[in-house]
Structures are given as C-alpha cells and as structure tokens.
Amino acid sequence: MKQFFNVALVCIVALSACTTPFKKAKDGTLYKIISTTKGPRLIAGNYMEMNVLAKYKDSVLGSSVEDGMPQYGVYDTANFPPPYKEIFRNIHVGDSIVLKISTDSILAKGQAAPFIKKGQFIYQYYTITNMFSSKEQVDSAQNTHMKVAKERGYKKQMGLIEKMLGEKEAKDQLAKDSKIIEDYLAKNNIKATKTKWGTYIAVQNEGTGPTLTNADIATVNYTGRSLDSVKAFDSNIDPAFKHVEPYDVDLTQLGGPTGVILGWTDALMQMKKGTKATVYIPSTLGYGKNGNPPRIAPNSILVFDIEVVNVTDEAGMKAHQEAMQKQQMAEQQRMMDSLQKAAPKTAPKK
C-alpha cells in the first residue's frame, strides 16, 4: 500500500508541477514547493525519508521509486549546500520540491555526463514521505524497503547483462568459445548441459533440495584452471593457495566487489545443496578480453570443479557470522585468562 501511495504521490506532483509557478533562489536556481498534504513540519535533527526523481528531457537519470528504496538523511538546513539550504528551510511531510537546474551551470563545473547539452534543464523532484526522530527508526524503515529494492536492482542488473550478451562482439566470442568447449567435451566423452547464457555443466552428483535462486548464499569448494591447462590457478581446497576454507557466494549480487564472475552465477543457479559439477565457462562469462593477469590470459575459457557444501539466506548467514564472532571473542578471552594465570606474580616493593 505504501509503495502505491508513493507512486501516486509522484504522479500528483508531476501534474501539479505543470501549473505551479517557479520561484528563484538567491543563487538563481528555479524551484517550486508543492503541498499535497498537511503533514508535520520537519524539525532540525530529525531524519527525513524522501523519494527522489531526476529527469533530463524524456530520460530518467535516477528514481528512488523505480529502485524501490527511498533516500534518508538528517534534516539540518544549516549544513545543507546552497540552494538546498534556502529551498528546504520550511517544509512538511507530504511536500514536494521541484528544482529546475540549468545544464549550463552543470557544464561550467565540469560535472555533466557526455550526453547533456547546453541550453537545457535537469529537473529534480523531492517528495518528503516520512519523518523520524531516531536512527533506529530509520534503520527499521530501510529494512522494510530492502527486499523490494534488492529485487528491482537484481532485475535491472540482469537486464543489463542480457543486453550485453546480446551485443555482436559478445555473441561472436560466445559462439567461438562454445565451439571450442563442445569439441573438447566430445573429444573427452563428457556429457554436459548448456545453460541459457552459455555455461556448460557436467554434473557428477545431483545434490538434494531446491535449485539455488537469487535469494540464496551458497557455500562452495572449488578448483579452477584454464581449458588449455591442467594446472590450477586457484583453489580453496589446495593448501598451496593458502586459503583452505569454504567460500561463500552471495547470489543476490551480480558482479561487483561482493559478487563472482557471471559463469559462476549462471552455473550455481542450476545447482542444489550437495551438487558436485565441473563447469566450463566461456571467456565472455569469465574475465573476458582483458583476462586476469598473470594467472588468466585474455579470452580464456575457464574450468571449475565446484561443490555446493551448504545453502543459506542472508538471515542465516548473519546469524552464522555473529556466532563465529562470539566464538572468536570467547577464544581470545580464554587466551588472555590463560596468559594472566601463567604470568609469574611479583612481590610488592617494600
């Protein structure tokens, strides 16, 4: 219901923005304040929740409604930069602020994207949807939006990936790699299933339970090599690589600092707890044309032996991490106690 209210409010603001005249801030920024409800006035030190929309011509540059996650911040106009210090000085929950910003001023500061031209305007819409008195209330509100935001972010990222895989360069490289992989599989009499994105999976043990989804965190053991080499470039079960411990893969992430290569995501989404498989990953779904020197050459086809040893969700992983942290702290305390008991007592000086 709240999400529907936020969308409807943005629509009302967009209609009202057409009839309400703009005012001019001291620095020349054009703005208007649209009041659609009579909510409480924001007080310095409170936290505000707001939906934000930025548009250039017919293009949406950013939308917290589309992302499913409002923005939060301390309401403290004394520390706001101009013109926000002036414009946000006297606003209420339910108010919307529209800023009309000249692209000339943005270009003059060297802050504009390449597609932005002179003589145009960027419109920024801020709708104040709630007000909180404590950080704890903000955290609770954020948590209610988190699931929707993650689902929408994942869907958006998935769309970008599939668009990239559909481009000519990627398609050509995938076709080339697929031919090499299929010839290798045929030569070595290996049966493997090809996924939608183009990863090949040869399952040795099917595993049990449901197939993994983007809500799961998979704990895996793995060893990786290039298709044209028998020497591993990484492993979490071989002591030679000095990180012999199960590896957690957050499938809610696609790439990025906490994610893995696309071939891993592609393969794990076909696997279950207990599955053991050899995965053949085209270079486009691995490290691509740049590779990962010095271990992985450009356009390398990768082979991973993967075992899914456990499956949990974010709540389960958080509980596990907290338990491990408590265990480490208890172990450190036991060590300190042992050292204190073992230390010789010195007689007091006379």
H or E segment to which residue 161 belongs: helix 135-165
Lowest-confidence pick of 77-81, 84-88, 143-147, 173-177:
143-147
Q: What is the mean pLDDT of residues 83-107?
A: 91
Nearest to 197 by CA among 272, 279, 276: 279
DSSP state of 288: G
Look at residue 11 and tell me whether its pLDDT is greater than 50.
no
Look at residue 256 and tell me whether its pLDDT is greater than 80.
no
Name the class of domain 2-163. alpha beta
Binned at pLDDT 50, 70 and 90, residue 330 comes out as confident
More confident residue, 318 or 246: 246
Considering the domain 168-314 in this protein, what is its CATH number?
3.10.50.40
Q: What is the mean pLDDT of residues 171-189?
A: 98
Residue 317's pLDDT is 66
Common-topology check for domains 2-163 and 168-314:
yes
Q: List CB contacts of 119: < 8 A, sequence separation 6 or more.
A: 103, 104
Check if the beta carbon of residue 33 is closer than 8 Å to that of residue 127. Answer: no
Look at residue 185 and tell me whether its pLDDT is greater than 60.
yes
Binned at pLDDT 50, 70 and 90, residue 298 comes out as very high
More confident residue, 300 or 332: 300
Q: What is the pTM of this model?
A: 0.68
Q: Which pLDDT tens digit goes with each residue over 214-238?
A: 889 999 999 999 999 999 999 999 9
Residue 19's pLDDT is 67
If you average pLDDT over every residue of the chain, what do you get?
Answer: 87
Binned at pLDDT 50, 70 and 90, residue 52 comes out as very high
Q: Where are the domains of the chain?
A: 2-163, 168-314
Pairing of strands 232-235, 302-312: unpaired
